[in-house]
Amino acid sequence: MLITSCQKDNSIWQYEGWKNTNDKYFAAMKDSTDYTLYTIPANRGGGSYYYKVTVKGDSTSASPLYTDEVKVQYRGKLVNGTVFDQSYTGLTPPTDIATARTFTAGGVVRGWTENLMQMKVGEVRKIVLSQELGYGSTGSYPAILPYSVTVWNVRLVK
């Protein structure tokens, strides 16, 4: 006698509506004339994200390498507008008086790493990351639900 179960795996199905909302949000970005689509080369893992430069940086500065320490100001939001992390409040874009945090360029989510390695000092970007380049199917409990597209305002300070 064979007995099988048709029970859904709640780790996937409990977020199905949220995943669909986020997938649609990211797919709709293709119609945006304000953002640039960047596709990461396959030899670096592939994937795509959208960005727009809102403040140009110092064109004579070098872009950070994967192993470089960077100082950034940022605000991260979900597609519903909920702020889940930020290094400053009230200032958009961030300015010299906003708090900056220090990271290794390669020590953050992959979408951030890819952007940081293209930015110049002083540059401010708005970035839209798919869940694959952000926090994936696990999220970052409790603030970032699984399958979340994340929207960032990032300034490379140093």
Summarize the confidence of residues 98-117 as an average pLDDT.
94
Q: Mean pLDDT over all residues of the chain?
A: 89
Task: Answer with the residue of higher pLDDT: 133 or 90.
Answer: 133
Is residue 4 very low, low, confident or very high in pLDDT (cuts 50, 70, 90)?
very low
pLDDT of residue 25: 95
Compute the distance between CA of residue 75 and CA of residue 152 in angstroms, rounded to an integer: 6
The structure tokens listed for 23 are 């997938």
Question: Of 4-18, 81-95, 131-145, which range is least confident?
Answer: 4-18
Q: What is the residue extent of each domain of the chain?
A: 14-156
Q: Is the pLDDT of residue 154 over 70?
A: yes
Cα–Cα distance for residue pair 131/146, rounded to 1 Å: 8
What are the residues whose beta carbons fall under 8 Å from the beta carbon of 73, sequence distance 6 or more? 87, 88, 94, 98, 99, 100, 101, 154, 155, 157
% of the chain surpassing 90 pLDDT: 77
CB 78 within 8 A of CB 24: no
What is residue 5's predicted lDDT score, i.e. its pLDDT?
A: 45
Arch. (CATH architecture) of 14-156 = Roll (3.10)
Range with top average pLDDT, 9-13, 73-77, 94-98: 73-77
Per cent of the chain over pLDDT 70 is 92
The band of 93, judged by pLDDT with boundaries at 50, 70 and 90, is confident
So what's the pLDDT on residue 39? Answer: 95
